[in-house]
Structure 1
Amino acid sequence: MCARSSESTPQRGFTMIELIAILILVGVLAAVAMPKLDTAVSLRNDTARDEVLAALRYAGQTAQSHRRLVCADVSATAVTLRIATNRPASACDTALTGPDGSASFTSNPGSSTFTLSPSGTMYFQPDGRVTSDGAGTTASARSLAITGVGSITIGGETGLVR
């Protein structure tokens, strides 16, 4: 029987030079890729802001064009709209669906959360005002803060959403 010597057995593993080269390559790739990932997250938050902005503008335009009360409820991650089936009305009783057929107007693909100040349902009146009650007696300016993006303001007397 022939004994194998340690010299004839091939060595396995990486050399120190190969390991250093891989670490340098990973470092360069990370330096290039990380800013692009931050940009992607920022774009998702901007998308959430744009969807909320469009939903609130849609609420105001629908209230005026249909001459009906439209109610907007803002949760931490979505905006839902309802419309009154009769007029005059002080409450909304039918879901107002978005372009995709769902009652929720935001998909919130990023990590954004929504905070409405002052909180509560927004009532878009047929005359263009935004009020804090369905009867339309008190105009209410609102601010909707979106984490990572900024805020949206809603004018009480004008109903302007920007």
Structure 2
Amino acid sequence: MTPCRPPSRRSTTGFTLPELLGVIVLTSVLAVFAMPSLDSVFGFRDEAWRGELIAALRNARQTAVAHRRLVCVSIATGGVSLQIAAANPASSCTSPLVGPDGQSTYATGSGTTTSLSPAGTVYFQPTGRATVDAAGASTGAWQISITGQTAITLLGETGHVE
């Protein structure tokens, strides 16, 4: 007869303490090296949003001059919307100007806080000037601030974007 062995009391499920410590150490080391890389990725996204915003403003000015129509620009954290007037002269913009992707929002924001000072809609006149009202009575100068980026300046008299 073969002798019977008593059942093993050692459990075969779960992890041992050295295995858990090894995983914690490895995760910590990866986090130390991965976090700075993620910060730079978010910085590139903010730079891309800044570039899209500048392109939208320049496109609005060019479209106003080329079509000899009023173009209205609305800037928010979520995106930039452009609209064009149906005729000239006009006191409001009625038709959306579609963006490069065919959507009514010209550019979509990165979620980074974006603010326009002074707040409100920017009106590009058929002459290329940027004004604070649709009638074109007074030009303005705007600062567009994006968190972590250099501010964008829009000069009303010329419509130049810096």
CA distance in 2, matches of 1:75, 1:14: 51
Match of 2:59 in 1: 58
Aligned match of 1:114:
114
Match of 2:161, SS state, is coil
Q: What is the aligned-residue RMSD (CA, Å)?
A: 2.1
Aligned to 2:147: 147
1:29-61 alpha-carbon deviations (Å, 9 max, x no partner)? 111111111111112222221111111111011
Question: Displacement, 1:25?
Answer: 1.4
Q: Deviation per CA, 1:108-155: give whole Å up to 9, x if none.
A: 2x3312211111111111212100111111011111111232321100
Q: How does 1:7-156 map to 2 (within 5 A)?
A: 8-12=8-12, 13-108=14-109, 110-156=110-156
SS of the residue aligned with 1:106? strand
Count of equivalent residues: 159
State how far apart, in whole Å, the 2-side matches of 1:14 and 1:102 are.
52
Gaps of 5+ in 1: none
Aligned residues with identical type, % of pairs: 46
TM-score, length of structure 1 as denominator length: 0.87
**Misfit runs of 4+, over 3 Å:** 8-20
**Unaligned regions of 5+ residues in structure 2, if any?**
none
Instruction: Specify which structure has the higher proportion of strand.
Output: 2
3-state DSSP of counterpart to 2:123: strand
CA contact (8 A) 2:80 2:108 kept: no
Task: Give the deviation of 1:4 after TM superposition.
Answer: 2.1
Once residues 75 and 16 of structure 1 are traced to their aligned partners in structure 2, the CA distance between those partners, rounded to angstroms, is 52
Q: Alignment partner of 1:150: what SS? A: coil
In structure 2, the partner of 1:4 is: 6
Contact 2:131 2:156 in 1 (8 A): yes
